[in-house]
Structure 1
Amino acid sequence: MSRIGQAPETTTHKVVKSLWIAIWLFYLSAPVTDLVSGGHSTGARVLGGLGLVAFTSWYLVLVFRTVRQMAVPKVLVSVAVLAAQATVLSLTLGREWLVLFVYVSISSGAALPGEYSRWTVPGATALMMVVAPALPGWDAYLAGLVVPALMGGFAMVGIRAMIRTTIELREARATVAQLAANEERLRMARDLHDLLGHSLSLITLKSELAGRMLPERPEAAAQQVADIERVSRQALVDVREAVSGYRRATLPGELAGARTALTAAGVAADLPAEPEDDLPEEAEAALAWSLREAVTNVVRHSGAKRCTVTLETRQTLAGRLVELTVSDDGGGGSAAHGNGLTGLTERLEAVGGTLSAGPTGKTGFRLVARVPLGSGS
């Protein structure tokens, strides 16, 4: 069952809410004055005072919500009890007590969900209008209570809806912040995977080469060690830039790195020259990361003897696009996407591109990355 809200938890909240409730208690001056100088008997005054205290106490419970959780049926019963008390006190003690129906309306608007209070507020007002004609001098007095009963009740409905909307907006902002943090973590994971996977593969290859060269060719081994140092330093720079969010991969840089990695692995490299057209930064970065991941996979997993890279601009029915193709004559691999290819797919989709990768037969593997170009490119 639906539940009403919880009581204020901090001292500030309690003070603010108490002041707000105290404003509405001003209307109780009429019943109090009637008890003191209304000409009632002592017994009527005692019973009327006890009834007023009971009514006010339960009204404060509903509006202030000192109960942690209360089901809607219990709130409806409580509002009905308040309405019954207001009816009995008004019929017994006079027109001044009709003001209690205003409190019935306000408490129902404050304690009940909107789908209930939109009926209970006018219902409490209608009950007051039914009871009033049974009291002497009711007509002029009733006119001043109908508007407060309706406006006060629906004002509480509006405040309740506003508070609920504010809470939902705060939760939505927290969710957006969490999603942004998750996206940033995914970006960092993709960058580090692409950066370190390529660099560490190249370092491993050159270390193996240096180890094989050491007995007979110390000078060549020293050159490999120097290359390892250079790659390590560049990897450190790349990681720092990636962590800072400033690094942007470029095709010329990745083509040069691909040539070095393939040569070190003993793979014949057929690479294109630098792209002639100036590509948008986002498109160039996505293609550069695709080239890096593809070459890393060729070096680490394929066992290929030759790797061919093509880069061309094509005109299609959907517009112009740049297509990067990396193919090898290795073992063929698997069509299942690992972390690297999954990250590439996300990068390309972010700029409206696509990725396809898989075996080309019994031997060989091909990766094709396509990125659309803007009309101005």
Structure 2
Amino acid sequence: MPDILRSTVLTALLATSATAWAETPVSPKTTVSPAPLIALAPGKVLYIDTEGSRTLADCEQVREHRMLGGPDKGKLFRETEPCSLWFLAVHPPTGRWAMTVSIMGDISSTRLVSVTLSGRKVDVPTDKAGRAKGGHMLVMGDLEGVVAITPGVPAQWTSNHVQHSQRPEQFTADGSRVLVANGTVTTADWWSWSFGPRPEGLHVLPTQVTDTASNDLVLGESRTVMRHERGGVRVATLDPTGTKPWKLGPPLKQKRKGLLSPMVLGDSMVFYREGVFDEGGCDESNPATYRRLDLRTGQEKVWGTHDTYCSGGELLEASARRKTAYFIQSNYFSTGVSKLYEYSLDRDEVRELKADGMEGVHDISEDGRRLVLRARGGVIGVYDNDTDEFAWLTGLEKVTDAGLLDLR
């Protein structure tokens, strides 16, 4: 099933359910969180804990539009708006973070005038004609503010309107480097960037090894799953320092097609296998399944069935310490409410968690106790796995990503 179609199905099922550059003092009427976290809101990077919230970075862009018709034909209009911030990675012990500023380059009658991040003008890559290119600017920071800005890999900035991405996914264990997934809708590769005022990047996984529907990194795990049309399904071992290429294992016997959201937990791989599609759509007698593979013996087992569905229930997060995986399903035709589930490899059982109405999972704590959940409109909440307590963070909307901290 094409990625765009699978995404459409999932949306339908869930639709109802350094040096400080700037610092904003805590407001007495601000959002609080039962666990410290960092969140990306329109134009802002926020630190939130039980005491309230403060801004770690703010960003705005100015665009100029030339009217092409009507009574204002030929006139220029300027618009200032918050930057679009995406793809947050955090280092829980230190509060270091990395994210991207999405830049839309010059198109037709619209021109990018400026991008300002925490009071500093950001230089955007341009083409030979001096027009701004489109891409993702990498930004690194800590609990004091912004530490560094870099355009990252030059090839990821384009003027042909083909979307390229640079997505910070995870820090190395010591927090010294950030692993960044690059690519387009058809290609993917990985880079490792040093954390500091002048980031330096290293290529740790080339293109044509993994595709855009694989590579879910699990915090605390040293291995991840490659999935490619020609290379098949393979497990790769990450270099712990982030300074050497990943080591690829031999191809597994599992078919690549329909194998979604594979994650390594210890000596097992858990994944979602799409069901069978016929001419009428989904063959309900062959629905999607949840599976686990013993990487030592090659034995595969089905531990769950996505009843009457062929897709749209992929695994969203996993805890290496607890050996648990998490997924959401929606009783779309009965209650219209989405449910969060946990699968335990050790117990080999699925448990329904007491958190309803969410659409996704942003992050899970290193110990597996807390999850940051996402609801419609970018609202987020924190769920406690030990106590079943669940708290929506009021006053926050349109959050694009969030990460939990474990400050010591």
**Normalised by the size of structure 1, how large is the TM-score?**
0.21
Return the index of the structure with the highest Cα Rg.
1
Q: Which has the higher helix share?
A: 1
Q: Which has the higher strand share?
A: 2
Tell me: higher relative CO, structure 1 or 2? Use CA pairs within 8 A at least 6 residues apart: 2
